[in-house]
Structure 1
Amino acid sequence: MPAPTIAIDLEAIAENTRAIVSRCAARGVAVYGVTKATGGLPMVGRAMLRGGATGLGESRIDNVRRLRRGGLTCPIMMLRIPSITEAPDVVRLCDASLNSERAVLEALDTAAVQQARVHDVIVMLEMGDRREGVSAEELMP
């Protein structure tokens, strides 16, 4: 019995990205393509970039490594809170990350200073679903 296979239509991905980018650009919104469902396949990331994505988003550091090894130099955002031990790799491989924990922010800061790099962070605000994010009270001070 043949092994299961998946065919990826890279032109369809590029065209779908173009359509989304066009709609978002009309409202002043930049688009990051998310490659996590494809395991960070560089060819999928390139298709999204051809379609006009500003950068790529990933949730696994191994997938970010795969994208970088595949030659992608575009901005990459870590879409989940990194662990403290991942901070050096996140700073080295990603341009930005989503965060809500002070200890992780401190680890990212230390890694960025050690690597003489700027690493952007987006602090997530808790929106009531209790999934992740800091409370408004914690954020404002």
Structure 2
Amino acid sequence: MTDASPTSPDTTSVPVRLVDRLGIHLVEVSAQRAVGTMPVEGNTQPYGLLHGGATAALAETLGSYAAAAHAGPGRHAVGIELSATHHRSARAGIVTGTATAIHLGRSTATYEIVVLDPESRRLCTARLTCMLIDDRTD
């Protein structure tokens, strides 16, 4: 008999990434810029508004992908600082984020990420700094 309680690990399923859970779709990725979309539906807080944490996750995802492109082969980008100002929220539709490089160094990369609603109104302005590290082989 197997234990089917909610606390039992499911060893038959493949882990789901956060970008998949949030419905984030990457449109463009380069060291200079990354663009992606995310649906409001399924990413709301109890009042039906787009969750600020989901918006921050979109921002960090876009900046991290761009920083990884800048880091290049054999290196990783890891977020070390994220700040986000939420200007307004959305109740429906698809939001679009654009990460634009503001510093591309050897050990760090910093991006400004702007998230817009379907009417091109600014929902959030975020800033992400990633540390660029060598891949570990151990």
Same-fold status (TM-score > 0.5): no
- TM-score (normalizing by structure 1): 0.29
Greater fraction of residues in strand: 2
Greater fraction of residues in helix: 1
- TM-score (normalizing by structure 2): 0.29
Determine which structure has greater relative contact order: mean sequence separation of CA pairs < 8 Å that are 6+ residues apart, divided by chain length: 2
